[in-house]
Amino acid sequence: MTEKKPSNPVPLDDQVCYAIYSAGMAIQRVYKPLLDRLGLTYPQYLVLNVLWREDGLTVGAIAERLALESSTLTPLLKRLETAGLLQRTRNPENERQVVIALTDRGRAIRSEAGCLNDALLAASKQPVANLGSLNRDVRRLRDALYESIGGWAAPT
């Protein structure tokens, strides 16, 4: 009987998962000085971005869009509320649900956050069309992976 030898791990630079992970980290580093100026962390920016598109969502709906657990999201929402960017209220039709709504200040910061896209374009030295194509390819990959594991409903 022959013993099967374990294969060597694929070098990190040849792994799609590492390329996406490290690119995500690099993007967050490009965004950090701009987010610091706004007093936001990257996860807080993501929450606000969801609400800028559709205000008045439940915690569960925001968690679903960001592929996060509600328990992970709650402390983040509390910090955003303390900063005066959103308010949390119980849904009068279902007391178990907490509805998240932007404040005037939360809506106003949207125009200031627009500079993130410009910073990414400048730092990447890529044409808009290339980044758009890459975004579509990565979203297709993400959606296929989630579909294969029966998880997270992709945002529309």
> What CATH number corresponds to the domain at position 70?
1.10.10.10
Residue 38, in any domain of the structure: yes
pLDDT of residue 31: 96
Is a pLDDT exceeding 70 seen at residue 70? yes
User: Does residue 35 sit within a domain?
Assistant: yes
β-pair type (94-102, 57-58): antiparallel
Give me the number of domains the chain comprises.
Answer: 1
Distance of CA 153 to the CA centre of its chain: 14
Is residue 20 situated within a structural domain?
A: yes
pLDDT score at 87: 97
Identify the CA nearest to 132 among candidates 124, 79, 30.
124
- State which residues form the domain around 52: 16-149
Domain presence at residue 36: yes
Residue 1 counted as domain residue = no
- At 155 the pLDDT is 54
Residue 106 structure tokens? 């939360």
pTM over 0.95: no
What gap in Å lies between CA 49 and CA 143, rounded to an integer? 20
pLDDT-derived band of residue 132, with 50, 70 and 90 as boundaries?
very high
Write down the pLDDT at residue 73.
94
Q: Which phi and psi angles does 88 have, rounded to 5°?
A: -110, 130
How much is the pLDDT for 43? Answer: 95
